[in-house]
Amino acid sequence: AKDPVRVLVTGAAGQIGYALVPMIARGTMLGPDQPVILHMLDIPPAVESLNGVKMELIDAAFPLLKGAVATTDVVEACKGVNIAIMVGGFPRKEGMERKDVMSKNVSIYKSQASALEEYAAKDVKVLVVANPANTNALILKEFAPSIPEKNITCLTRLDHNRALGQISERLDVPVSKVKNVIIWGNHSSTQYPDVSHAVVETEHGEQPVAKLVADDAWLHGEFISVVQQRGAAIIKARKLSSALSAASSACDHIRDWVLGTPKGTWVSMGVYSDGSYDVPPGLIYSYPVTCENGEWSIVQGLSVDEFSRGKLVATADELVEEKAMAYSCFSS
């Protein structure tokens, strides 16, 4: 039997946490033959609720779950973890300036980075979900210098999956037949959902999405804004933000990273930019990636037309600005 993998979920008492921990315990993230030990971190005001989640995990009698730690101590939470899903953070509240929210998250991510650096497994893989996801991941990278930068990522897989979903609905084809959409840039409303290279598997081989949809106005207009604004639409409908889809996409992100992407398929991940596609190096930017042997690599050589170029630049500009804002919080 395999040794259990230790998976940290921060903000485990929250909405996403509640949807995510049972998925991990059932094997959705790491596969049906991989035992897991869950490390769940939250803050003191949420401790009762966190203990309730732990009680339910015990009650669910998941065969793969070999242990569950529920704690408000960041050191205990990070000890020996192989995978860290960072869902906890400070939410933007009405009337708060972006800078104030940023400053709260900078201090959270700084201290959690230090704890991961010191106590997690040396090859820990980190996925930041909490917003601003790209910039939180960048801060975590800055303050955990011994964790390889390749091991620090943020979640844009939800946006990727949303794009697949929209194409599937529009063409009335199973979502599993649609592949190779791309989310470029920030997990925010400036992200660029790009279908230039997306295809649908049909009886007649792979067909370009652009050809099947045959409506450039929709692909360059409504499709993009629906994906960009989907989070807001869910909040409006549910009065709560996306949770089951965020949790499911976080599982997809880690599963593909650890177990590999299928041949001929790429996914979107927020990763440390190396200047590929003329994006400024040193940002956490969402790219198309393939994964093999537990490592991602950016898909190279895709054509980027003028329309797309403008969108890649706009979302990079926003990340440069967020980065500057985050760095200005370090001194304060």
Q: Which residues are catalytic?
A: 187
Residue 13 in marked binding region? yes
181 touches ligand NAI (CB under 6 A): no
**CA distance linking residue 5 with residue 307, whole number of Å:** 44
Instruction: Using the minimum distance from each CB to ligand NAI, give the nearer residue, 16 or 254.
Output: 16
Nearest distance from C-beta of residue 96 to ligand NAI, angstroms: 13
- 15/168 with CB nearer ligand NAI: 15
Residue 288 as a binder of ligand NAI (CB under 6 A): the answer is no
Site for ligand NAI in 97-136 (CB under 6 A): 108, 129-131, 133
Strands 5-10 and 83-86: parallel
The verdict on whether residue 247 carries a ligand-binding annotation is no
Is the CB of 191 or the CB of 261 nearer to ligand NAI? 191
83 vs 133, beta carbon nearer ligand NAI: 133
Residues 81-100 vs ligand NAI: string with x where CB under 6 A? ------xxxxx---------
**Least separation in angstroms between CB 214 and ligand NAI:** 30
Residue 11 annotated as binding site: yes
Question: Where on the chain is the footprint of ligand NAI (CB under 6 A)?
Answer: 10-11, 13-17, 41-43, 46, 87-91, 108, 129-131, 133, 155, 158, 187, 241-243, 246
